[in-house]
């Protein structure tokens, strides 16, 4: 093959390659989760209690797995390539139940809406979780109520609102800041529960009911004196 023809063929192939459309690969989807903090809240002298953690509710827009950020004060958008593993309210719910179950002053923790008798019941609502890009911070807000019995008597209500600075519009920093804020919120819940339970008169807390003897059955006899 003449040298000029070979050069022409090579040049044609090179130009044809430049004309091909470039294939852009999207980054892999990244899933983030929140963990229950390992916090031990002191409660000296407190009788172990049973507690029901009712399902954590979520404000509109927080029921899904989108990691939300606000580029402007009036706008909310989801991260394109990052998301929560499950809805944030579910992870907050799990963190509350697991953290409470680890406390020495908690005899048992129940979850869900199923009826059941416990000494206390906790209800929380996640009001806000977003990355404010303009202010360079992650904002977290939650409200809780503590009831004696199964939502029978409201004994305390409080809110937690805090923010954590982040340096960039980055999902990993967003997730870490959210974890730090969740740790603070759970620590606050533990302190509030101890404060309210310790201050509650013993007579006002529903006591476990003893099973009555069956009809016709005799009451148990006291041991005979020796």
d(CA 93, CA 99): 10
- Parallel/antiparallel/unpaired status of strands 30-32 and 120-132: unpaired
What's the pLDDT score for residue 112?
83
- Kindly list the structural domains of the chain, giving each domain's residue range(s) and its CATH number in brackets, ordered by start: 47-201 (3.40.50.10610)
pLDDT in tens, 68-118: 999 988 999 999 999 999 999 999 999 999 999 999 999 999 998 766 789
What's the pLDDT score for residue 27?
65
d(CA 123, CA 184): 17
d(CA 108, CA 197): 15
DSSP designation for 203: G
The enclosing H or E element of 75 equals strand 75-84
What's the pLDDT score for residue 6?
52
Convert 194-212 to b/e letters by CB count within 10 Å (16 or more is b): bebbeebeeeebbeeeeee
d(CA 179, CA 115): 31
- Parallel/antiparallel/unpaired status of strands 66-72 and 57-58: unpaired
Question: What tokens appear for 28 in the block?
Answer: 């892999």
What's the pLDDT score for residue 122?
96
What Cα–Cα distance (Å) separates residue 183 from each residue in 7, 9, 59, 116, 176?
67, 66, 20, 28, 11
- Parallel/antiparallel/unpaired status of strands 137-148 and 153-165: antiparallel
Q: List the chain residues with pLDDT less than 70.
A: 1-27, 114-115, 150-151, 202-226
Listing DSSP states for 110-149 in one string gives: EESS-----SEEEEEEEEEEEEETTTTEEEEEEEEEEEET
What's the pLDDT score for residue 67?
96
d(CA 214, CA 216): 6
Q: Which of 154, 123, 137, 133 shows the shortest CA–CA distance to 56?
A: 123
Q: What is the largest CA-CA distance in the chain?
A: 123
What's the pLDDT score for residue 210?
44
Q: Which of 174, 109, 103 shows the shortest CA–CA distance to 139?
A: 174
What's the pLDDT score for residue 25?
60
pTM over 0.85: no
The enclosing H or E element of 17 equals helix 3-19
d(CA 69, CA 75): 8
């Amino acid at each position: 093959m003449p040298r000029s023809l070979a050069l022409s063929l090579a040049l044609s192939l090179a130009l044809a390659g430049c004309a091909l459309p470039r294939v852009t690969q999207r980054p892999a989807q990244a899933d983030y989760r929140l963990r229950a903090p390992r916090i031990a809240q002191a409660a000296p002298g407190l009788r172990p209690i049973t507690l029901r953690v009712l399902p954590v509710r979520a404000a509109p827009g927080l029921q899904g797995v989108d990691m939300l950020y606000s580029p402007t004060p009036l706008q909310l958008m989801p991260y394109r390539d990052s998301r929560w593993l499950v809805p944030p309210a579910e992870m907050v719910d799990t963190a509350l139940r697991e953290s409470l179950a680890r406390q020495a002053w908690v005899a048992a923790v129940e979850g869900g809406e199923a009826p059941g008798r416990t000494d206390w019941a906790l209800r929380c609502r996640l009001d806000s979780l977003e990355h404010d890009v303009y202010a360079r911070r992650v904002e977290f807000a939650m409200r809780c109520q503590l009831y004696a019995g199964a939502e029978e008597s409201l004994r305390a209500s409080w809110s937690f609102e805090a923010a954590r600075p982040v340096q960039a519009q980055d999902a990993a920093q967003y997730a870490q800041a959210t974890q730090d804020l969740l740790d603070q919120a759970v620590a606050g819940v533990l302190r509030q529960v101890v404060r309210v339970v310790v201050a509650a008169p013993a007579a006002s807390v529903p006591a476990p009911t003893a099973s009555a003897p069956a009809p016709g059955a005799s009451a148990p006899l006291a041991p005979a004196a020796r």
